[in-house]
């Protein structure tokens, strides 16, 4: 079996692709898997790190403004379509899988034209424009949330599977939690707030946490704060100007990136983060209450729709980019952590949306297409 997976730019697109690839390899060790991405995204780090081959093409997001720069990007994406056709003719895959993002446009369209079976996975509750445009072209669309079904029209086949992730429903012992806290110089018996904004951080969230630290508002809780690799040095300098040493802040541990996010989530009492589809899935698997800060300029405002999936279950609260600051975030945190039983119930509510056997369901759909 030879499989091509189109995935690019963010971990929210790439990690599901890697999870699907790992499942295929587990079921079929002889399978050959090649990823197609761009030269600009996280795929250049994550895909080789996962042990898979990566080929790149030119591709950019679908644009709605008439500018010279956008016209150039459109022509480059058309070139990418030609590059995708060439790769598919060379590799002759048995199936082409897309896991979201604009890279899926040229790659899956080329596969459809060549009569190669196609499968597209949509992680978000509000499908992106690329998914909507490809709906009539691809053989099967997999969705993570039932809410997405009504927003995809004229599709040949839609199947609810959930989002594939490396997170597992595991038990995390008190000893393991204590070890994690110790490794991060955090206290054992103080409420832990985990804060992150994706691999590159989230400026509105980071600004609010800076204000909380500057004004010493977090007296009743401690923070594990992943600021994002691109923002770490900037925040370090900002804090230095206020005579705050980033490595020695009371009740706060600051890191550029958290590599074992599941351990961090399982240890935390409350999570503050963006609401990408992968994050929603991971928070629910860990059964944790959350404060979501949807990315305000996300396409189709899809992060807010994602956040509402858990908010509607009583598992999360939402605060927007234009509302968040040190005081508003601190007030929300304080209000939530003062009722431990309610906080625990919110975590239990988060588990209600967990989809079981996600990778198995996806692999079954792959087999169906291969056996047609």
In angstroms, the CA 99 to CA 278 distance is 11
| CATH code of the domain occupying 2-166+356-370 | 3.40.50.2000
Confidence of residue 372 (pLDDT cuts 50, 70, 90): confident
In the predicted structure, residue 330 carries a pLDDT above the cut 70: yes
pLDDT at 62: 60
In angstroms, the CA 170 to CA 49 distance is 24
Domain boundaries, the chain: 2-166+356-370, 174-353
In angstroms, the CA 29 to CA 1 distance is 10
Beta carbons of 146 and 352 less than 8 angstroms apart: no
In the predicted structure, residue 347 carries a pLDDT above the cut 90: yes
Nearest to 224 by CA among 171, 182, 277, 166: 182
In the predicted structure, residue 75 carries a pLDDT above the cut 80: no
Beta carbons of 160 and 143 less than 8 angstroms apart: yes
Q: How many helices (H) and strands (E) does the chain have?
A: 14, 13
Furthest-apart CA pair in the chain: how many Å? 66
pLDDT at 216: 95
Compute the C-alpha angle 194/196/200, nearest 5°.
160
What is the model's pTM? 0.85
User: Which residues lie below 8 Å from residue 200, measured CB to CB, with a gap of 6+?
Assistant: 228, 229, 230, 231
Topology agreement, domain 2-166+356-370 and domain 174-353: yes
Torsion-angle region of 116 (φ positive above 0: left; ψ -120 to 50: alpha; else: beta): beta
Section 350-371 average pLDDT: 95
Query: How do residues 100-130 score in pLDDT, each as one tens digit?
Result: 778 999 999 999 999 999 999 999 888 888 8
Nearest to 107 by CA among 124, 86, 76: 86
In angstroms, the CA 299 to CA 130 distance is 11
**What are the CA-CA distances from residue 163 to residues 167, 199, 279, 358 (Å)?**
10, 19, 10, 7
Query: How do residues 45-67 score in pLDDT, each as one tens digit?
Result: 899 999 999 999 987 766 556 67
In angstroms, the CA 336 to CA 346 distance is 10
- CATH class, domain 174-353, is alpha beta
Nearest to 364 by CA among 13, 36, 23: 23
């Amino acid at each position: 079996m030879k499989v091509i997976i189109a995935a690019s730019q963010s971990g929210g697109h790439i990690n599901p692709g890697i999870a699907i690839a790992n499942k295929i390899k587990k079921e079929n060790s002889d399978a050959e898997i090649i990823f197609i991405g761009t030269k600009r995204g996280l795929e250049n780090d994550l895909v080789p790190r996962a042990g898979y081959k990566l080929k790149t093409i030119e591709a950019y997001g679908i644009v709605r403004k008439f500018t010279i720069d956008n016209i150039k990007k459109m022509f480059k994406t058309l070139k990418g379509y030609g590059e995708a056709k060439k790769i598919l003719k060379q590799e002759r895959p048995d199936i082409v899988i897309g896991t979201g993002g604009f890279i899926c446009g040229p790659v899956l369209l080329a596969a459809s034209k060549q009569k190669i079976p196609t499968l597209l996975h949509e992680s978000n509750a509000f499908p992106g424009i690329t998914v909507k445009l490809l709906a009539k072209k691809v053989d099967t669309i997999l969705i993570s949330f039932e809410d997405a079904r009504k927003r995809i029209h004229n599709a040949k086949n839609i199947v609810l599977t959930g989002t594939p992730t490396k997170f597992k429903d595991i038990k995390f012992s008190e000893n393991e939690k204590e070890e994690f806290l110790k490794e991060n110089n955090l206290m054992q018996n103080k409420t832990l707030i985990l804060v992150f904004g994706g691999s590159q951080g989230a400026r509105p969230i980071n600004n609010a946490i800076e204000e909380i630290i500057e004004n010493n508002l977090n007296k009743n809780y401690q923070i594990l704060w992943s600021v994002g690799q691109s923002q770490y040095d900037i925040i370090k300098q900002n804090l230095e100007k206020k005579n705050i040493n980033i490595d020695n802040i009371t009740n706060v541990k600051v890191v550029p990136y958290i590599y074992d996010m599941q351990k961090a989530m399982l240890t935390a009492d409350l999570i503050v983060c963006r609401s990408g589809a992968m994050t929603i899935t991971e928070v629910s698997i860990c059964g944790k209450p959350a404060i979501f800060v949807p990315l305000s300029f996300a396409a189709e405002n899809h992060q807010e729709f994602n956040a509402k999936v858990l908010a509607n279950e009583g598992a999360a609260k939402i605060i927007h980019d234009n509302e968040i600051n040190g005081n508003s975030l601190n007030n929300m945190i304080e209000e939530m952590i003062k009722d431990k039983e309610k906080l625990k119930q919110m975590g239990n509510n988060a588990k209600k949306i967990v989809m079981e056997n996600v990778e198995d369901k996806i692999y079954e759909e792959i087999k169906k297409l291969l056996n047609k």
